Amino acid sequence: MRKIGAMLTAMAFATGMSAQTHVFDVNTSKIGGAIPSTMYGIFFEDINYAADGGLYGELVKNRSFEFPQHFMGWKAFGKFELKNDGPFNKNPHYVRLNDSGHTDKFTGLENEGFFGIGYKKDADYRFTVWARTPYGDGDVTVRVLFCDPSTMGERQQFSESKIVVSGKEWKKYEVVIKANKTVDKGTLRLMLTRNSKTVDLEHISLFPVDVYKGDENGLRKDLAEALEQMKPGVFRFPGGCIVEGTDLATRYQWKNSVGQVENRPLNENRWHYTFDYRFFPDYYQSYGLGFYEYFRLSEQIGAEPLPVLSVGLSCEFQNGDKRCDKHVDVDQLQPYIDDVLDLIEFANGDPEKNSWAKLRADMGHPAPFNLKYVAIGNEQWGAIYPENLKPFIEQVRKKYPNIKIIGTSGPDSEGDKFDYLWPEMRKLGADLVDEHFYRNEQWFLNSGNRYDNYKRGKGQPKVFAGEYACHGKGKKWNHFNAALMEAAFMTDLERNADVVEMATYAPLFAHVDGWQWRPDAIWYDNLRSFNSCSYYVQQLYSLNKGTNMISLTMNGKPVAGNDGQDGLFASAAFDKNTSEYIIKIVNTGDKDQKVTLNLKGLKKGEHKGTKITFHSDNPIAENTLDNPKAVIPVTSSLSINGASQEVTAAAKTFVIYRFSK
Ligand code: AHR
């Protein structure tokens, strides 16, 4: 007997296959509770140049000359002046260009963009500028040039056009210019012609014509499409710590992010300073991608908007959790509470009755955005948080009883802050509690049962896993194994869809030249982008979510990487819309595992479907700009016969079986 046992073990090692067969009982005849449509969503924060320099289509940095160093991002040459009595009162600075005074000298400006300006050969770009001739003494021609500063060719400019400015009144000028070359780190250069009159220029802007959905003030197409292709159920915005600000003055103020784009005041980005080892002194928020653009994008990609607003506490990592002048006292909170109430009106209100709703209509969206959620506070902790949150909840409830309010459990997945805040959120009657976990592989492997024993049922807040990602130990970047850990953990979200209402991986975007934080879901430079392994995991869950849970157990227990489960994680769902079963299995171990799917109640005969496999032989493999599809899911056809099905859960693999009823 011992000998045979030894032989079997030896064979198992030889094939890399575990000898044991795992029997998963899937109860296909009992359709369980609903999986919320919001379950898998996205979290956007302007970190890593996610907005300006990222999703926002604008290519010009510091377009309104409002950075504290007013020419940051610009090179000005010849005779120029900075003026501050421009046509937009919240962005009063502009530039006056005078004739150089010499036929062989030039006056003009050159913008460096965000880590350069990306131009694509044959693509059209819309250049706009507000301008006037202040003395009204004749027309001024401004040459508009797309340049490649690093070329060894004769001429740096590869495309050129012009605008002719006339009259003393400020007017908007526009010209569409085709790029005759592909350049990833180009510039935009403006030059006066010789013997020119004086001209004033303000809000100098350049967008690709081909932005997402062709929207005015639009979004970079490849990045917005990557979001659309995730089919997110919910869209959290605008952060993150950015909601709180390094101080109260630099918190995200949504009212500054709506209305005429030229008149949205600049904000210093919270991520300008945080890490001295990844320091970007030119990181500001133009608010060009503001709350209107956010609600519009949510609608376009079919996600429920979930705005997060300040609770009157600036970032507690930077300012502590005790009452001080960095935080707002409870009796001074009304303007902050009004921000929440007014945002609900901006999103949902009647334009005939409310000025914020009227602004929404004037901006082009008379119909409501149908906002259902609002989160108040980001990663707050200590007694100051529930104290501040209370009056927000009271006033929002009173005026908008149907809006669901999300409170936070702080920055940690467990521990003192977390243990203190959950009961506080219950006391205050929060509808959902936001949990954050950036943790290593082991944490994810150990957390497969996290939500199995959460309090559930009437009166209990639901969970919003509002920020999470596997930060590989010593390997803190987007590699396959980290994504596999996330896939394993997400079986727990799915199995507990009665407790977990939504989850958003974080952060979403990163510019390869400007990141402060990784891993992230989507990476890009000025011309190209790619989806990380974690993106694909999120997308696989979202596209294969199903509408209802079904029970999947092994020896009566959830499959969650526990003892005797050989690193397997699994969950099952049913999709009422397509009448399909969806079984997800994640094998986090390095041996193949035999699994018998005991499909209790499944009709006899053939059930056709698809099998989607996400695997890499190299655990630290990653997608890159040069090899964007190094690790992607592979789909094949599937035929299930009968109520018992043998499958192999291959080592280090996330597999989805999807088959008809
Ligand atoms: O996602 C990056 C940061 O992580 C968020 O701003 C913050 O909420 C968390 O600490």
Six token digits for residue 341: 């109430």
Q: Are strands 432-439 and 462-470 parallel, antiparallel or unpaired?
A: parallel
- Supply φ then ψ for residue 357, to 5 degrees: -65, -35
Q: Which of 66, 202, 316, 379 is catalytic?
A: 379
The rounded distance, in Å, linking the Cα atoms of 570 and 595 is: 11
* Cβ 411 under 6 angstroms from ligand 1: yes
DSSP characters over 621-654? ----SSSTTSS--EEEEEEEESSEEEEEE-TTEE
Mutational pocket test of ligand 1: of 47, 316, 505, the residue with most ligand atoms within 8 Å of the beta carbon: 47
Residue 16: predicted pLDDT: 66
What interhelical angle do 334-348 and 291-301 show, nearest 10? Answer: 40
Q: Whose CA is nearest to atom 9 of ligand 1?
A: 240
The rounded distance, in Å, linking the Cα atoms of 199 and 346 is: 38
Residue 627: predicted pLDDT: 98
**SS3 label, residue 345:** helix
Ligand 1 geometric centre to CA of 524 (Å): 20
Mutational pocket test of ligand 1: of 250, 467, 476, 516, the residue with most ligand atoms within 8 Å of the beta carbon: 467
Residue 273: predicted pLDDT: 83
The rounded distance, in Å, linking the Cα atoms of 241 and 430 is: 20
pTM above 0.85, yes or no: yes
**SS3 label, residue 141:** strand
What band does 256 get if pLDDT is binned at 50, 70 and 90? very high
Six token digits for residue 143: 């040459």
Q: Which atom of ligand 1 is nearest to the CA of 241?
A: 6
Q: Whose CA is nearest to atom 5 of ligand 1?
A: 240
pLDDT in tens, 318-340: 999 999 999 999 999 999 999 99
pLDDT in tens, 182-214: 999 999 999 999 999 999 999 999 999 999 999
Burial 137-165, CB ≥16 within 10 A → b, else e: eeebebbbbbbbeeeeeeebbbbeebbeb
* Cβ 567 under 6 angstroms from ligand 1: no
Mutational pocket test of ligand 1: of 43, 274, 378, the residue with most ligand atoms within 8 Å of the beta carbon: 378
Q: Which atom of ligand 1 is nearest to the CA of 317?
A: 10
The rounded distance, in Å, linking the Cα atoms of 566 and 559 is: 10
- Which has the closest alpha carbon to 598: 570, 632, 562? 570
The stretch 357-379 carries a mean pLDDT of 98
Mean of all residue pLDDT scores within the chain:
96
Ligand 1 geometric centre to CA of 380 (Å): 11
Number of Cβ within a 10 Å radius of residue 96: 16
Number of Cβ within a 10 Å radius of residue 655: 24
Residue 6: predicted pLDDT: 37
Residue 469: predicted pLDDT: 98
pLDDT greater than 90 at residue 15? no
Mutational pocket test of ligand 1: of 517, 518, 520, 534, the residue with most ligand atoms within 8 Å of the beta carbon: 517
Cα dihedral 216, 527, 468, 434 in deg (nearest 10): -10
pLDDT greater than 90 at residue 642? no
Residue 24: predicted pLDDT: 98
Residue 20: predicted pLDDT: 85
What band does 10 get if pLDDT is binned at 50, 70 and 90? very low
pLDDT greater than 70 at residue 601? yes
The rounded distance, in Å, linking the Cα atoms of 367 and 351 is: 9
The rounded distance, in Å, linking the Cα atoms of 165 and 170 is: 10
pLDDT greater than 80 at residue 392? yes
Residue 278: predicted pLDDT: 93
pLDDT in tens, 157-166: 999 999 999 9
102 contact partners, CB below 8 Å, separation of at least 6: none
User: Where is 526: in which H helix or E strand?
Assistant: none
Q: Are residues 372 and 320 in contact, defined by beta-carbon separation less than 8 angstroms?
A: no
Q: What share of the chain is helix, strand, coil (3-state, %, to 5)?
A: 20, 35, 45
Q: Whose CA is nearest to atom 1 of ligand 1?
A: 507
The rounded distance, in Å, linking the Cα atoms of 470 and 484 is: 9
Q: Are residues 349 and 294 in contact, defined by beta-carbon separation less than 8 angstroms?
A: no
The rounded distance, in Å, linking the Cα atoms of 575 and 360 is: 36
* Cβ 125 under 6 angstroms from ligand 1: no
* Cβ 241 under 6 angstroms from ligand 1: yes
Q: Whose CA is nearest to atom 7 of ligand 1?
A: 240
353 contact partners, CB below 8 Å, separation of at least 6: none
Answer with the residue of higher pLDDT: 641 or 5: 641
pLDDT in tens, 86-99: 999 999 999 999 99
Active site residue 262: no
The stretch 217-231 carries a mean pLDDT of 98
pLDDT in tens, 258-305: 999 999 999 999 998 888 999 999 999 999 999 999 999 999 999 999
Ligand 1 geometric centre to CA of 240 (Å): 5
Ligand 1 geometric centre to CA of 66 (Å): 27
* Cβ 507 under 6 angstroms from ligand 1: yes
Residue 12: predicted pLDDT: 39
Ligand 1 geometric centre to CA of 103 (Å): 54
What band does 154 get if pLDDT is binned at 50, 70 and 90? very high
Q: Are residues 592 and 651 in contact, defined by beta-carbon separation less than 8 angstroms?
A: yes
